[in-house]
Structure 1
Amino acid sequence: MTDMSETGDRIIAPVPRITIQAFCETPDVAAVIESTIGDRRMQKAQVKVQMGGANAAVEAYRGAPTPNVIVIEMGNGKVSPLTHLDRLAEVCDAGTKVVLIGHVNDVLLYREFIRRGVSEYLIAPIDAVGTIAAISELFSEPGAEPLGRTVAVVGAKGGAGASTIAHNLSWSIARDFGTSTVIADLDVAFGTASLNFNQDPPQGIAEAVFAPERIDANFVDRLLSKCTDNLSLLAAPATLDRTTDFSETAFDSVIEILRASVPCIVLDVPHLWSAWSRRMLIGADEIVVVAAPELASLRNARNLFDLLRQARPNDRQARLVLNQVGMPKRPEIGAAEFIKALEVPGAAVVPFDPGLFGTAANNGQMLAEIQAGGRATEIIADLAAAVTGRAEAKRARSTLFDPILARLGRRKAS
């Protein structure tokens, strides 16, 4: 019995290619189920919503096969919910899963539902994310490991430093939290992850993308190169012998295998706009947009945030990292102005530090290996805590952006 008022911060597996038909009694429940149709985790499912509750469901299936999942809202009518359920059982095909939505939190009634073969009982009011999670869990293998979290990092503009942020983020997640992590470099032609981690793997992500028929868990595992005890790299070959105009689903199989075997996958998404890169962003559990404090980055970041808000209505908003802030002699858009224009609740601001970043890049090291207690290192560590769903790490000292956020808060209050 699931109370939809508490969905939690969880990773929900995509719903498989199934048909779902819902029979509702109230407009509120119908509206919530309708809203799940546009969710990224429901891309493969076909959903149909109609009114009439259990009576309409029984009439609909008297002479028609039942779908994979039937969702029925049962109100407080004169007829017992168990009577409705018994009538539905007479017309329901074997293998069809039934999800009931009720308005009464009754343990005895719940037990009767389960005894009669109901797959799940949700208590109204329901919400979109909780409903999707309930349907997704119907098709999860018993005892299966939870899915790994995907974190997509993309630059609002070329040269904003998104790859550097992605690589250091993955390193921080693996080191600070002891979490097995994979950094996947999706820039097949020009990726820099192997350079930044001082690796020269003979194979990488290209082998999987160009030979999809060979992809399985063992094959993907052979493509990974170990960077630290908890961090592995799925490198890009960075060669130009083949073009990279991939199909929209080119990376799906690789990501699915990684999610089944690793708790965290950081996707270094190149700054380009194609069907597959859009899919990688929209399908990620967390998104980090890296921008520089200048006009082109602001315009592109606004476009990205607008699209992601529309495409991911039930997800947490993308996070902003404002990078290379404070470059001498460069006119910049102020951090407060930048964040206000994007209407994001907060951001990480990474100060311009060419000595630190240049030394790390040339040595094939991470920022924390060069300057363990530096401001940039602390900001990355806080970002790692945020995107992995952990509580924000306590900062030893305030960051460059704290006074700006405080001023913004005072302005809103006034």
Structure 2
Amino acid sequence: MKPHQSHDPFDPDFDAEDDFTSVEDAWREPPPAAAAADPFAPEALEEVEPEAFPDPFADLGGARAADRPDPIVIEPAGGHDEDPFGLDGAVSPPPLVHPVHDMIAGAEAAFGESSLPRITIHIFCVNAATAEMAGQAAADRRMERATVVTRMGGLAAAVETYRNEATPSLVMVESADPGPQLLALLDKLAEVCDPGTKVVVVGQANDIALYRELMRRGVSEYIVPPLNPLLLVRTAASLYADPSAPFVGRQVAFCGAKGGAGASTIAHNIAYSITERLLTGAVLVDLDLPFGTAGLDFNQDPIQGVIDALSQPDRLDTVLMDRMMVRCTDRLSLFAAPATLDADYDISTEAFEEVTQKIRSAAPFVVLDLPHAWTPWKRKILLSSDDLVIVATPDLASLRNAKNMIDLVRRARPNDAPPRLVLNQVGVPGRPEIPVKDFGEALGLTPALCLPFDPKLFGQAANNGQMIAEVGPKSRSAEGLDHLAQQIARREPPQVQKTSLLSSLFKKK
């Protein structure tokens, strides 16, 4: 047997059996010379010519998932040392630790929120912890159409299983074996795999050489610890992403913990801030069909609106959608509610789901203003939205209702960040209130924004058909709304280049 150092494992004439019969694991224990080299140097990443013999996984395809971004830390509005709204106790307390939020906040920021098609996924695990993560991934909202079966035994069990049954669309196999045994078992799996099956390997060695060898053999993806449920979901979804599919914007749902909490006002102002402060496109959809106020708040009275789309969801396309929407600004479009009581609005959950999904192709952000009434379609939209904002006032009824909604969302969306909480109308004179800190601790999360009670500012904006940023651009409420918009959009406002007075005088001359 020839020594490992004398061979290039990616040479077309390289024989894997000759080199991997050594007891020493070549993947985990590289020779000193190789260990000192940079595995990500350009020379180590040169393209390798395909082998002359057929690839046993040639029909399986492959796609490498993007590296997870660093977590994004979302701070509460204002600071902890001073009150930006001029209210004692109205500032959010220090962040309460939420393990799911901390774990996946960064990953979710980059996740395209794509759902898997109706496929069957088999996951073969070695460790009990991986099996538990697989179960959590199977319950994820993005995998609701997929059928997931989890089994123990790892790669070896997968080989034995598929000797007697057909392989599904996607197979995820975990292996703790060293490189030679892993590759040998993969070759056996290739012999029993049906054409078109995609294979994802969950390994232990974070090794670029092993990764490239697996890709050469037709493995679709190779992932290593640390694992989390969302990483499994992202990996599976990336393999079925259709480049020709329509663009899908981020859906943000706003819901009030009780009637009159101000959820519609907050939703409208956030949509405006996303477009006018962050300079990106957005669509505002008013789904409070009998009592919606988006048309009033933007001083619009469109002939058509969201009810026309809900009445004929199968006919809704880009041209028809553009006719039904009204332009509030250059970047903000509005799907207004009819706001009449002439109809009962008996519309199916499927119609709401289809229409909102089609609207997501119209802009990078879709803001949904949901009514307070609890209906099956509202529950469906809440659980399927990318971001959820619950608006509450600091009283007992809002606390109870907000807790019920947050508990529901946490159970149904275990891999998503918790909803954002906005406390509105804080500091009403003479009204007993639950302190902000106690309110957040009871719900297990920190309010993302606390807005002071300011009837003059909000009343003037509502009566004039304007946004808070238009009536009081320098007000603390406008600054807080802009801050929340940045949290939701996960981006900073564009930098404005400042010019000196002297340079402006020269330009005038």
TM-score normalised to the size of structure 2? 0.73
Give matches, 1:120-269, under 5 Å. Answer: 120-142=221-243, 147-269=248-370
The CA distance in 2 between the partners of 1:23 and 1:187, in whole Å, is 46
Task: Using the TM superposition, give the Cα deviation of residue 68 of structure 1 relative to its aligned residue in structure 2, in angstroms.
Answer: 1.3
Q: Determine which of 34, 38, 41 is the counterpart of 2:139.
A: 38
CA contact (8 A) 1:4 1:127 kept: no
3-state SS of paired residue (2:415): coil
Distance 1:78 1:389, change over 3 A: closer
Task: Using the TM superposition, give the Cα deviation of residue 307 of structure 1 relative to its aligned residue in structure 2, in angstroms.
Answer: 1.4
Relative to structure 2, which stretch is displaced further, 366-375 or 85-94?
A: 85-94
Q: Hey, what does 2:215 align to over in structure 1?
A: 114
Deviations 1:348-376 (A, max 9, x none): 11111111111111111101111110111
Distance 1:261 1:91, change over 3 A: farther
Task: Using the TM superposition, give the Cα deviation of residue 346 of structure 1 relative to its aligned residue in structure 2, in angstroms.
Answer: 3.2
Give matches, 1:64-103, under 5 Å. Answer: 64-77=165-178, 80-103=181-204
3-state SS of paired residue (1:249): helix
CA contact (8 A) 2:285 2:334 kept: yes
Task: Using the TM superposition, give the Cα deviation of residue 129 of structure 1 relative to its aligned residue in structure 2, in angstroms.
Answer: 0.8
The CA distance in 2 between the partners of 1:266 and 1:100, in whole Å, is 38
CA contact (8 A) 2:277 2:493 kept: no
Q: Hey, what does 2:418 align to over in structure 1?
A: 317
The CA distance in 2 between the partners of 1:209 and 1:378, in whole Å, is 35
Relative to structure 2, which stretch is displaced further, 228-237 or 73-82?
A: 73-82
Q: Determine which of 327, 333, 349 is the counterpart of 2:428.
A: 327
The CA distance in 1 between the partners of 2:396 and 2:440, in whole Å, is 13
Relative to structure 2, which stretch is displaced further, 321-330 or 70-79?
A: 70-79
CA contact (8 A) 1:149 1:263 kept: yes
Aligned partner letter, 1:379: G
Q: Hey, what does 1:398 align to over in structure 2?
A: none
The CA distance in 2 between the partners of 1:238 and 1:145, in whole Å, is 31
The CA distance in 1 between the partners of 2:69 and 2:149, in whole Å, is 24
Aligned partner letter, 1:10: A
CA contact (8 A) 2:285 2:369 kept: yes
The CA distance in 1 between the partners of 2:69 and 2:480, in whole Å, is 33
Task: Using the TM superposition, give the Cα deviation of residue 261 of structure 1 relative to its aligned residue in structure 2, in angstroms.
Answer: 3.5
- Quick check: which one's strand share is greater? 1
Distance 1:217 1:20, change over 3 A: farther
Find out whether 1:10 has 2:110 as its counterpart: yes
3-state SS of paired residue (2:421): strand
CA contact (8 A) 2:422 2:447 kept: no
Structure 2 gaps, min length 5: 1-63, 71-105, 495-509
3-state SS of paired residue (2:456): helix
The CA distance in 2 between the partners of 1:265 and 1:102, in whole Å, is 38
Q: Determine which of 55, 60, 63 is the counterpart of 2:164.
A: 63
Aligned partner letter, 1:92: C
TM-score normalised to the size of structure 1? 0.89
Task: Using the TM superposition, give the Cα deviation of residue 392 of structure 1 relative to its aligned residue in structure 2, in angstroms.
Answer: 10
CA contact (8 A) 2:123 2:172 kept: yes
Task: Using the TM superposition, give the Cα deviation of residue 343 of structure 1 relative to its aligned residue in structure 2, in angstroms.
Answer: 2.2
Distance 1:4 1:59, change over 3 A: farther
Q: Hey, what does 1:412 align to over in structure 2?
A: none
Asked which structure has the greater CA Rg, the reply is: 2
Deviations 1:288-320 (A, max 9, x none): 111112221111111111212222211111111
Q: Hey, what does 2:373 align to over in structure 1?
A: 272
The CA distance in 2 between the partners of 1:334 and 1:259, in whole Å, is 38
Q: Percent identity?
A: 48
Deviations 1:86-137 (A, max 9, x none): 2222222222211111111122221222222211111123111111111111
Structure 1 gaps, min length 5: 394-414
Q: Determine which of 373, 393, 414 is the counterpart of 2:474.
A: 373
Aligned partner letter, 2:316: I
CA contact (8 A) 1:4 1:126 kept: no
Aligned partner letter, 2:451: V
CA contact (8 A) 1:4 1:125 kept: no
The CA distance in 2 between the partners of 1:302 and 1:245, in whole Å, is 29
- Compute the RMSD of aligned alpha carbons: 2.2
Task: Using the TM superposition, give the Cα deviation of residue 342 of structure 1 relative to its aligned residue in structure 2, in angstroms.
Answer: 1.9
Q: Determine which of 444, 467, 479 is the counterpart of 1:343.
A: 444
Task: Using the TM superposition, give the Cα deviation of residue 219 of structure 1 relative to its aligned residue in structure 2, in angstroms.
Answer: 2.6
Aligned residue pairs: how many?
394
Relative to structure 2, which stretch is displaced further, 190-199 or 138-147?
A: 138-147
Task: Using the TM superposition, give the Cα deviation of residue 147 of structure 1 relative to its aligned residue in structure 2, in angstroms.
Answer: 3.3
The CA distance in 1 between the partners of 2:427 and 2:419, in whole Å, is 24
Distance 1:77 1:26, change over 3 A: farther
